[in-house]
Amino acid sequence: MSKIHITIDTEFSAGGCFHNHENTPITHDAVYCRINGVSHGLEFLLKTFKTYQIKATFFIEAAHTAMLGFDIMKPIIDDIKSNGHDIQLHIHPMWHEPARKALGDHIINDSMAALDLSTAKGVIELGMHAFDKWGLDQPVAFRAGNLQMNTEMPLDL
């Protein structure tokens, strides 16, 4: 019998806000994906997992808290947590201003691989702080946005 571990990145969309300041991030709509009031996103996944008694790991993007605060993701976390799923840390550095500016003001950096150790550490610490604010256990797993990480980074940031 094979064992499969299901993981889901749970994150907001920048909605082009870094290139056009009239745009705003897409938050709950990007996660719940409702069409005519029916969720084809998170609620659908949670219902399906419950039906088939599946437990999954949700990697929650946490760097957005630098721009959007902590409260906006909390109801999503509560939905996941109340359904008994695992929650771990996911980071897209584009949300964190020092990381965004690491490659210059004209480039939006969304790659952990492009960050120096100090900036990468700051972004990960921001995520750890978000977990504290959300009342979550400290994560034991990390997924970098775009799955990019500098191979020279120490594993014990």
Residue 6 phi/psi, 5° resolution?
-90, 130
Q: Residue 131: is its pLDDT beyond 90? A: yes
pTM: 0.90
The one-letter amino acid at 140: V
How far apart are alpha carbons 91 and 147 in whole angstroms?
10
Tokens of 9: 């990145």
Judge contact between 96 and 115, C-beta under 8 A: no
Residue 12 sits at the vertex; the CA angle it makes with 148 and 96, to the nearest 5 degrees, is 60
What is the three-state SS of 24-82?
CCECHHHHHCEECCEECCHHHHHHHHHHCCCCCEEEEECCCHHHHCCCCCHHHHHHHHH
- Angstrom distance (rounded) from CA 40 to CA 123: 30
Give me the pLDDT at residue 25, please.
93
How far is residue 99's CA from residue 111's CA, in Å, rounded to a whole number? 9
27-47 pLDDT, tens digit each: 999 999 999 999 999 999 999
Q: What is the pLDDT of residues 43-84, one digit of tens each?
A: 999 999 999 999 999 999 999 999 999 999 999 999 999 999
